[in-house]
Structure 1
Amino acid sequence: MALVAFAIPAQAQQADPGNAPPAYSTLADLLENAESRQQLIEQLRGLAADTPAAEAASAASSAAAEKPSLPRQLAQATSQIAGDVGTQLSNVAEAVSGLFSGSAEAASSFDMAAFTEATINLGLVILATVVLFLIIRRLAKPVFTRISQWSLNGQGLNPVLRLVLCVALAALIDVLVVALAYVGGNLVATFAVGETGALSTRASLFLNAFLVIELLKAGVRMLFSSRYEGLRLLPISADEASYWNRWIARLIGLVGYGLMVVVPLISAYLAPTLGQSVGTLIMIGAFLYAVVVVLRNRRRLRDALDQKARKASMAATRVSLQLFARTWHLFALAYFVMVLGLTLTRPADALPYVLFATLKTLATVVVGMLVSSFLTQTIGRRIRLSDDLRRKLPMLEPRLNSYVPNALRIIRAIILITVIMVVLSAWGAFDLAGWYASEAGRELIGKSVSVFVILVVAAAVWLGLASLIEHKLSPETGGGVPSARAQTLLALFRNALAIALITMTAMIVLSEIGINIGPLIAGAGVLGLAIGFGAQKLVQDIITGIFIQVENAMNTGDVVTVGGITGTAEKLSIRSVGIRDLSGTYHIVPFSSVDTVSNYMREFGNHVGEYGIAYRESIDEAIDQLKLAFEDLKASEEHGHKLLEPLTVAGVVALADSSVNIRVVIKTTPGDQWAVGRAYNRLVKLRFDEAGIEIPFPHTTLYFGEDKQGRSPAANVRVLESSARERRPEAARADEPAEGIQEIADPDHRQPSEDDV
């Protein structure tokens, strides 16, 4: 109540100044009374505690109620920019008309002599500073040349690191050149021009603008070094670098000197309104100039980027370059439109804001490109292991070279996302620091790092275990050539390990990102049970395959008969076996259809041969020749080491229709019985021919028929003696033909007589 009593006289005082003494006396009375003073203090503290919350709630509700939509905000911004442009143009017209239609007093107050002197002094400062800058830069040219040559041809460092180091050193020298020219200009302006020992405002404006603009140009020269190829950060040609360096330098000079020198001088000597309007015209002119240059070079730069995209080795880089080639001019136009809008809506702080945002954007993009290029040159090249390690672990090098491109793609994606976020933060479109400080940002970054670590650990575990398995399988590790069983089981274990590792890694990653894997595990169990009932054949394949592997029924490389198919087992899985038969056909036989496995390569192999001789030949002599053929085989360098035991002669196994069959058995190393059998058959034939032992072959009797009188029809035949009669003439009789006689048509077509027949 005391506060109300105090507020009413105060309001009355504002309405009527004559009521001031009663209000002061009332306040004095309230403060003199200790009890009323204490009540007033308590009431003020209570209101102070309630007022901020009420004001905040009221402000929030009013802001929420009055916040316009995005299209309305864009419309308001466009309207404001158009209104500012119109205001600036009208101010220019008024200022110019005021200059030309000013009063005589204004014309007489303008000191032409002082203005001329100031202009001459400023011109001398500008000339001295520029000449000094050119001289110092000319003296530094050999240093830049040497640094560029070392960047191109130096040794001992990564090319990207060497380029960055040389560019940083050249930039430091460039900054030093600008600083020396700036100091020299200050000395000239202070001691040689105008009043000695004093630096005029005009000279200070130019020198400050010179320092800022030349430092910006030095930064541009880091990107587009047209004269020194080894100091150019961007991978473009010298002509392209010269063009863009010259164009950007002109734009920086136009805007910089116009806003930092011309506009302040016009505002000081002519009219502030005119200076502000000239600044607006300078920005509009720079905007139009930039738009013309961008549109003029749109097609040329697009073609250059497309050419680089075709040379890119990675698909992601190729697609990104192709997309940027078609949209780069849109980004450039959006940038210049945004700069113009900021300049018109925020003329007080637009230039520093745009300058720092642009520098941060360029620095972020360049750093991202350099990091990506460094990673490409460091880990993007093909990894080469030592000969010894490549011999022991033959699959390690291909596996590493298959992992590196995928890892490089992931890292490049992370770099791209980071660059985009930093650029958006630089222009105020995204609060990167606030997002990272928030709980959501910290949680996302933490989960991403955790997932990355999990994937790296899983890849390292797989790489180590797979390399260990290859170490066991390699004969160069000191353990000798592994057995076929070891090769098969280790290959199956490697496949099972890959499946288990992928499953566990997927589960851990899902759990790490916040997905409850309990229902997934339960669902997988139910799904497995359903698959077990619905795919009994598949389950039978797997169970049978497990027992076949446990019992070591066959291994990769064995010659087997499985499911009625005979061939080499090329691939064994937990469900089926791949068989390559003699004709080259590849068969996949599921284990559920396997009743019997016939393995021809267990411990040893037998060549069982049966050799037929004629009935008149001596059996003992034939057996002796078979033994001699075995001795020849044993002496062979190609097949002698494959024989495990002496020749086993089983004896006569059959008295066939036209031959006496003798069986022999040769015991060989596994899988060599076929090659040994072929070689032994050859030697047996050679021995039998040498000993004159006949190997019977089928005989054919030709019957020409008889007529009713018992006479045979005429036949054109010629009787030839066989080699057997030539070898044993004593066995031939005149009244019976020799064995092996061949009847061949007479080429002279002579009609034989009955005696010939």
Structure 2
Amino acid sequence: MAADGGPTGSVPGCVADPTTLCAKVYGLTGVDWLAVNAEALIGKPARILLVVVVAAVVRLLLHRAIRRLTDRTATGSMPTILRPWRNRVRAADPDGVETIAQRRTQRAEAIGSVLRSIASFVVMGIAVVMVLGELGVNLAPIIASAGVVGVALGFGAQNLVKDFIAGIGIILEDQYGVGDVVDLGEASGTVEAVGLRITRVRDVNGVVWYARNGEILRVGNKSQGYAQVVIDMPVAHDTDLDRCRTVMQEVADAMYAEEPWSQVLLAEPESLGAEQITAEGVTMRLQVRSTNADQWRVARELRMRLKERFAVEGIRTPPPLLGATSATAAGLR
């Protein structure tokens, strides 16, 4: 017997091909049993280790890329169109600006967590399949079963998947967030919660609406960037429209120059004049840009001031139509 435990002069048959792992191991060690079992003892463990290391490195790189993307989103700059009003908005509502920044950070962290989980699931799933293949497990039944289960889940839970994908898009694109006033079509009001599957909205009557994200076809957000306050004042046909327009401009300019309204009005008001002429009267329009949080307060204050100034100037509202008056009287009888 040889000193290494193998029979003297015994050479494995695989040594005949110098490119095999068996031949290389035998050439390095001279141990026949180790050379014969080199594939099971060295080859497969080495390939499994390589698969695990590559999967870990790919997962780490994907996580780093996702983290950089979400960090950039969390610290993103204000859109160019909003920059002229940045300082005015900060002075008017610093808490609101801070809330927007916090919401952006939370949104980035949420979507980053989802993307990292998906990346980990995909990478580790592929790694497990490759490891099983190295161990000699027949993958055909597993892949076939997974395909059948995937098809069944695809048909049975397609609405759920649709909602989740739409929810990821809503969060990633920041279409709306908690506290925003939105119009979702069937439901409108203040957003109370945004999830991956549903959005919860409370309307002005206190009714809570649950909207599936996959069924939301359009979103009107009244709380992003700035608000455009539009005031329509009806006046009689015999009104001096030029004078009425001037009066509306004076009222709005006075409010624009007055504290604290000057801090929430982001641009000079503009009296647009006659917007609509109907059988009842003429509609005069005034518009002004304001911060999101103060748009309704600004609108109420402007309407009240315009009504009081109209009374002083003698600008009359349209008289009720005779047909409408008769119908009202008939209803009272």
Normalising by structure 1, we get a TM-score of 0.25
> How far is the alpha carbon of 1:654 from its aligned partner?
2.4
Residue correspondence of structure 1 range 185-584 to structure 2 within 5 A: 480-483=98-101, 485-490=103-108, 492-493=110-111, 496=114, 529=150, 530-584=152-206
Q: For residues 235 and 213 of structure 2, what CA distance do their matches in structure 1 show?
A: 45
* Partner residue of 2:284 out of 662, 686, 701: 662
Match status 1:639 vs 2:257 = no
* 1:623 to 1:573, Cα distance in 2 relative to 1, 3 A: same
Per-residue displacement from partner, 1:284-332 (whole Å, max 9, x unpaired)? xxxxxxxxxxxxxxxxxxxxxxxxxxxxxxxxxxxxxxxxxxxxxxxxx
Does the 8 Å CA contact 1:560/1:568 hold for their aligned counterparts?
yes
Q: 2:313 aligns with which of 691, 697, 711?
A: 691
Post-superposition Cα deviations, 1:127-157, rounded to whole Å, max 9, x if no partner, equal xxxxxxxxxxxxxxxxxxxxxxxxxxxxxxx
2:244 to 622, 630, 637: 622
Please list the CA deviations of residues 102-133 of structure 1 after superposition, one character each: whole Å capped at 9, or x if unmatched. xxxxxxxxxxxxxxxxxxxxxxxxxxxxxxxx
2:234 maps to 1:612: yes
Q: Secondary structure at the match of 1:608?
A: strand
Give yes or no for contact 1:492–1:573 (8 Å, CA) kept in 2. no
Residues 571 and 493 of structure 1, relative CA distance in 2, 3 Å threshold: same
Tell me the CA shift for residue 666 of structure 1.
1.2
| 1:2-49 deviation per Cα after TM superposition (whole angstroms, max 9, x unaligned) | xxxxxxxxxxxxxxxxxxxxxxxxxxxxxxxxxxxxxxxxxxxxxxxx
CA RMSD of aligned residues (A): 3.7
What's the secondary structure of 1:651's corresponding residue? Answer: strand
Partner of 1:651: 273
Shift of 1:642: 1.6
Q: Distance in 1 between matches of 2:220 and 2:274?
A: 28
Q: Trace 1:121-136 onto structure 2 (pairs within 5 A).
A: none
Q: Distance in 2 between matches of 1:609 and 1:537?
A: 42
Rg bigger for which structure?
1
- Contact 1:688–1:694 under 8 Å retained in 2: yes
Partner of 2:232, secondary structure, is strand
1:665 aligned partner, one-letter code: Q
Shift of 1:680: 0.6
The equivalent residue for 1:729 is none
Task: Classify 1:615/1:563 alpha carbon distance in 2 versus 1 (closer, same or farther; 3 Å).
Answer: closer
Quick one: distance in 1 between partners of 2:149 and 2:199? 24
Q: Tell me how far apart the structure 1 counterparts of residues 167 and 278 of structure 2 sit (CA, whole Å).
A: 45
Contact 1:632 1:683 in 2 (8 A): no
8 Å contact kept, 2:256–2:269: no
**More strand as a share of residues:** 2
Aligned counterpart for 1:599 among listed residues 221, 227, 241: 221
1:563–1:589 contact (8 Å) kept in structure 2: no
* Counterpart in the other structure of 2:35: none
| 1:673–1:698 Cα change, 3 Å | same
Judging changes above 3 Å, is the alpha-carbon distance between structure 1 residues 481 and 599 closer, same or farther for their aligned structure 2 residues? Answer: closer
* Aligned counterpart, 1:682: 304
Deviation digits for residues 695-736 of structure 1 (CA, Å, limit 9, x no counterpart): 223155999xxxxxxxxxxxxxxxxxxxxxxxxxxxxxxxxx
Amino acid of the structure 1 residue aligned with 2:319: F
Counterpart Cα distance in 1 of 2:207 and 2:102: 23
Moved over 3 A (4+): 479-482, 493-500, 522-528, 635-639, 699-703
Within 1, Cα distance between the matches of 2:149 and 2:298? Answer: 51
Cα separation, partners in 2 of 1:482 and 1:695, compared to 1, 3 Å: closer
**How far did 1:631 drift?**
2.5
Change (3 A) 1:491 1:589: farther
Q: Is the 8 A contact 1:568 1:579 kept in 2?
A: yes
Q: Distance in 2 between matches of 1:488 and 1:672?
A: 24
User: Equivalent residue for 2:94?
Assistant: none
Deviation at 1:628, TM superposition (A): 2.1
- Cα distance 1:667–1:480, how it changes in 2: closer, same or farther (>3 A)? closer
CA contact (8 A) 1:488 1:555 kept: no
CA–CA distance in structure 1, aligned partners of residues 179 and 105 of structure 2:
10
Quick one: which amino acid aligns to residue 215 of structure 2?
S
Distance 2:192 2:175 in 1: 14
**SS of the residue aligned with 2:292?**
coil
TM value normalised by structure 2 = 0.54
Query: Displacement of 1:581 after TM fit?
Result: 0.9
Q: Counterpart amino acid of 1:631?
A: D
Alpha-carbon separation, structure 1, partners of 2:248 and 2:295: 17
Structure 1 residues not aligned, in runs of 5+: 1-468, 474-478, 504-517, 704-757
Q: Which runs of 5+ in 2 are unaligned?
A: 1-70, 76-96, 122-136, 326-333
**Higher RCO (C-alpha under 8 Å, 6+ residues apart):** 2
Three-state SS of the structure 2 residue aligned to 1:596 is coil
- The number of equivalent residue pairs is 209
In structure 2, do the counterparts of structure 1 residues 561 and 668 end up closer, same or farther at CA, with 3 Å as the change threshold?
same
Tell me the CA shift for residue 675 of structure 1: 2.1
Look up the SS of the partner of 2:233 in the other structure: strand
